[in-house]
């Protein structure tokens, strides 16, 4: 029975505004009645356009067709999520395609478990909840730092302690120790450089 669906290519004469209303009605028919004929109209209008867009963006015929297929599959399966009050059919379909392309590119770069399009543009979902615990290991423990810290020259240690442990400003430290601000800065810098060198040597 699918053979009977006409493959029309004559939508180009329709004005954008009328077209938006027309496409909007088709999408509603798809959502409410799974109307294949209406979907075919939407498909025939958007699929070639999506393909051109994808070809320009991705420069690859197979990827472009994959994008068209995934986008239009979502339109078919999630037509109920389209809301004409929120935007035109073309904007909705564009955002679906954009999201899929974003995720396709991530996948091509072998990226897993990072930023996904649903987080950025929740076009096709209300909530995203993906429990995934990935604790980060710190390479150096505080004990190590504390140990290295103790080996700093006394004057540098005092400055670093006041700033980093007590949270004082450099000016405050300068005032308390009655030394110029520039000296506080240089001592801090030297101390941090020293710590960094020691940490690198420790590895």
Residues numbered 113-152 forming contacts with another protein, rule: CB under 8 A: 113-122, 124-136, 138-142, 144-145, 148-149
Q: Which of 2, 18, 150, 154 binds another protein (CB under 8 A)?
A: 2
Using CB atoms within 10 Å of the CB of residue 90, give its burial: 0 to 12 exposed, 13 to 18 middle, 19+ buried.
Answer: middle
Whole-number Å distance between alpha carbons of 110 and 60: 18
- Asked if 9 is part of the footprint of another protein (rule: CB under 8 A), the reply reads yes
Considering the complex, what minimum distance in angstroms separates the CB of residue 24 from another protein?
14
- Asked if 59 is part of the footprint of another protein (rule: CB under 8 A), the reply reads no
Q: Which of 27, 29, 50, 67 binds another protein (CB under 8 A)?
A: 50
How does DSSP classify residue 170? H
Considering the complex, what minimum distance in angstroms separates the CB of residue 84 from another protein?
14
Kindly state the number of chain residues that form the binding site for another protein, as judged by CB under 8 A.
Answer: 102
- Asked if 60 is part of the footprint of another protein (rule: CB under 8 A), the reply reads no
How does DSSP classify residue 163? I
Q: Which of 22, 67, 82, 98 binds another protein (CB under 8 A)?
A: 98
Q: Which of residues 63-92 bind another protein (CB under 8 A)?
A: 65, 68-70, 72-74, 76-80, 87-88, 90-91
> Which helix H or strand E contains 199, and what residues bound it?
helix 181-202
- Asked if 169 is part of the footprint of another protein (rule: CB under 8 A), the reply reads yes
Considering the complex, what minimum distance in angstroms separates the CB of residue 119 from another protein?
5
Tokens of 203: 């590895």
Tokens of 191: 């101390």
Tokens of 92: 């909705």
- Asked if 27 is part of the footprint of another protein (rule: CB under 8 A), the reply reads no
What phi, psi does 100 have (nearest 5°)?
-65, -40
Using only the alpha carbons of the chain, give its radius of gyration: 30
Whole-number Å distance between alpha carbons of 196 and 17: 63
Considering the complex, what minimum distance in angstroms separates the CB of residue 63 from another protein?
13
């Amino acid at each position: 029975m699918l053979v009977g669906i006409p493959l029309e290519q004559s939508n180009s004469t329709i004005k954008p505004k009328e077209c938006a209303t027309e496409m909007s009605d088709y999408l509603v028919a798809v959502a409410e009645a799974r109307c294949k004929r209406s979907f075919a109209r939407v498909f025939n209008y958007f699929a070639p356009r999506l393909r051109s867009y994808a070809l320009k963006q991705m420069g690859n015929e197979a990827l472009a067709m994959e994008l068209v297929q995934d986008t239009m599959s979502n339109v078919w399966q999630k037509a109920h999520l389209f809301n004409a009050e929120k935007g035109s059919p073309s904007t909705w379909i564009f955002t679906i395609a954009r999201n899929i392309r974003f995720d396709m590119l991530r996948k091509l770069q072998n990226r897993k478990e990072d930023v996904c399009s649903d987080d950025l543009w929740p076009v096709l979902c209300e909530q995203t909840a993906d429990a995934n615990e990935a604790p980060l290991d710190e390479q150096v423990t505080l004990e190590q730092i504390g140990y290295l810290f103790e080996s700093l020259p006394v004057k540098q240690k005092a400055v670093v302690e006041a700033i980093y442990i007590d949270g004082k400003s450099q000016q405050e430290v300068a005032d308390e120790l009655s030394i110029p601000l520039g000296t506080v800065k240089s001592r801090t810098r030297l101390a941090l450089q020293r710590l960094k060198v020691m940490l690198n040597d420790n590895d």
